[in-house]
Amino acid sequence: MADRVCLVHYHEIGLKGKNRSTFENQLVTNLHRALRSFDVADIKRISGHILVTAADGMATDDMAHAISRVPGVARVSVAYVCRQDPEEYCAAAVRALGEAGEFGSFKVHARRSSTNYELHTLDINRLVGSVLCEKFPNKKVEMHHPDVTVIVMVVNASVYVYTDTGVGVGGLPVGTAGKVVTLLSSGFDSPVATWMVGRRGAVCVPVHFSGRPMTADTSEYLCQDIINAMAPSGMVGRLYVVPFGQKQREISLCVPQSLRIITYRRVMFAVAERIARMEGAKALVTGESLGQVASQTLENISVVNEMVSMPVLRPLIGSDKQEIMRRAEEIGTYDISAQDAADCCTLFMPRRPETHAKPDMVHEAWDSFDHDAMIEELVQSVEYVDFDQCPSYKPPRQLRARHRELAPARFERRGDKDATGEKGAATE
């Protein structure tokens, strides 16, 4: 009996030139991490694909589903692998079609990357098709829009036969596009923005600004849950937490009410950039969507942007809330983000925030307090938690010795999540 394997297909990686093997090797590494809970015998590159073999020779649909959630995977097929023996792969085709469920029509589509095999793809189509017509006499052959397509693919010295293909997340393997720092809240937007940039191959380092000690630390637990929900993608290695509540109070006492949010965000950007420099990250990422809230108008984005010298990526800038929430459902963060949690987004918020900030007014407010000292204090108070999810993440040398000191015990799992409701977007 032929073994069942997972055949991983990719799109963008196949367009790479001389460095294509780098992307393929990174994808193999990431698949090893994603499949740690499965008994996998081997993961290796073959011509234009990645081949995943189970220890017992019987790859499962659960294994294929886990593979489909890894960035860089366009599609994944559970296939029977055979020798280049017509009798063997025809038998596998009969079995694959028999497992396809209810169908009224089918066709055979042969592919061949091994030109040393004597049979042409048209010959393979006729050979396998004749056997299937004999075994399934009541089913119709339909060349244009069949219910089921039986794929017979000749690669190297093997033949892979399958009918069903699961859609993957696509993109590029995490670890091939450098490192970014993302501003992460427990709302809907920033987790989706983090996932979208990670899907393009970036290692993501989230920074969460907590309202602690002025609010409970619930949002910190939710951010950890969000990262765990995105664990199959393998894009996050560490979460930084910045206790921001007391500094927000200080800002609210000396800055005009209408400019509080802008000032909060300027401080956040400055702190995030400091962390990014320590991490060796090349950009910041936010969940801003143009015009969605007061802080996300072009004028306000501009005066906040001037705080940093590195690029700021905004993958959601042209998305509306419904699009963002649909994506949150797809990646598994929606239910977590829907939970109510007081955080810095809702702390000391003005009744009428400025929507079209004038630079001169913002600079005057900025100079009304010792912002340099505040930024330095926040950087020194940063806490972090490491996640064993991203094989490409390397912690910065400056912070390795401080891990035991800073990793907060409050991040132990707790079960007091309740209520629902959408949070603000000050850190989105």
Q: Residues forming the annotated binding site for ATP?
A: 183-184, 208-209, 265, 287, 296
Residue written as tokens 């920033």? 190
What single DSSP character describes residue 296?
A: G
C-alpha angle 359-364-366 in degrees, rounded to nearest 5: 90
DSSP track, 96-122: HHHTS-S-SEEEEEEEES-TTSSS-HH
CA distances to 64, 372, 382, 395 from 400, in Å? 36, 25, 13, 7
Q: How many CA atoms lie within 13 A of 365 on its CB side?
A: 26
How far apart CA 185 and CA 343 sit, in angstroms, is: 8
Alpha-carbon torsion, ordered 160, 162, 164, 167, to 10 deg: 0
Are the C-beta atoms of residues 374 and 253 closer than 8 Å to each other?
no
How far apart CA 140 and CA 103 sit, in angstroms, is: 9
- Cβ within 8 Å of residue 396, ≥6 positions away: 278, 279, 280
Point out the annotated binding site. Answer: 183-184, 208-209, 265, 287, 296
Are the C-beta atoms of residues 195 and 233 closer than 8 Å to each other?
yes
Alpha-carbon torsion, ordered 131, 137, 138, 141, to 10 deg: 40
Q: What are 350's two structure tokens?
A: 């003005």
Instruction: Please count the other Cβ atoms lying within 10 Å of the Cβ belonging to residue 169.
Output: 18
Are the C-beta atoms of residues 148 and 100 closer than 8 Å to each other?
yes
Q: Which long-range contacts (CB under 8 A, 24 or more apart) does 319-323 make?
A: 319/289, 320/289, 320/292, 321/188, 321/289, 321/292
How far apart CA 54 and CA 372 sit, in angstroms, is: 56
Q: What are 256's two structure tokens?
A: 């005009």
Residue written as tokens 């929430």? 325
Nearest to 344 by CA among 224, 214, 241: 214
